[in-house]
Amino acid sequence: MVLTMRKCFLYSRVSSDAQISGDGLVRQEDKLKQYLLQNAERLNLSTIDYEILVDSGISGWKGSNMGDTAALGQLFMRVESDEIDDSVLIVESLDRFSRENPFRVAGYISKLAEHGIDIIDVENNLVIGPSNPWSSTISSIIANRAHEESTLKSKRIKAAWDSRRKKAKESGQYMIKNTPFWIDVLDDKYVGQCQCIDR
């Protein structure tokens, strides 16, 4: 009996400008390709029939990567139109797939599973989906951890900005040095540039 090799989708995502300018996407893609080559025979994966999917500067916490214009969102549209089935989505880790609420992530995983699509979490060496019925509990724990990390990070960033705004209001000192062209920073304070226009 000849087995048909399963088509693979290698998905990478970064959310910030810093990650875009760095090697985040290249590193992820290299890691996914390496995993595919090393595990193709064991997991019945095609090393010829695969697609590279990239979402650059798109949030997984807000679910923006599931939007109609995002690469992952478009993949889901193809799945729902029955264009794709019995395939494999390979990600560096589940938090690259999504950092949304774990219940929502479980819904995404179920949608793929209904079409015979597994998700491979390379970092945790975990196959999530119909090929591994026991994976749902583990993936829920991983998704919950990713969501909590993002929520905590968001709260910390907000608190830091709130603190900066408060200090700036109380002391008159600047918050950031990147200012509009009509404002300068002198002696750690904002100074407006007033110009008279002759009419």
Sign of CA dihedral 39, 42, 44, 47: positive
Q: What's the whole-number average pLDDT of the chain?
A: 80
Averaged over 58-73, what is the pLDDT?
93
Active site residue 131: no
What are the domain boundaries of the chain? 6-132
Confidence at residue 153, expressed as pLDDT on a 0 to 100 scale: 59
Confidence at residue 161, expressed as pLDDT on a 0 to 100 scale: 55
The active-site residue, picked from 12, 15, 64, 150, is 15
Residue pLDDT, tens place only, 158-182: 655 566 666 666 666 655 656 665 5
Element (H, E) at 196: none
Nearest Cα to 61, choosing from 90, 97, 109? Answer: 97
Query: Tokens at residue 17, please?
Result: 């400008």
Residue pLDDT, tens place only, 17-30: 555 555 789 999 99
Fold of the 6-132 domain: Rossmann fold (3.40.50)
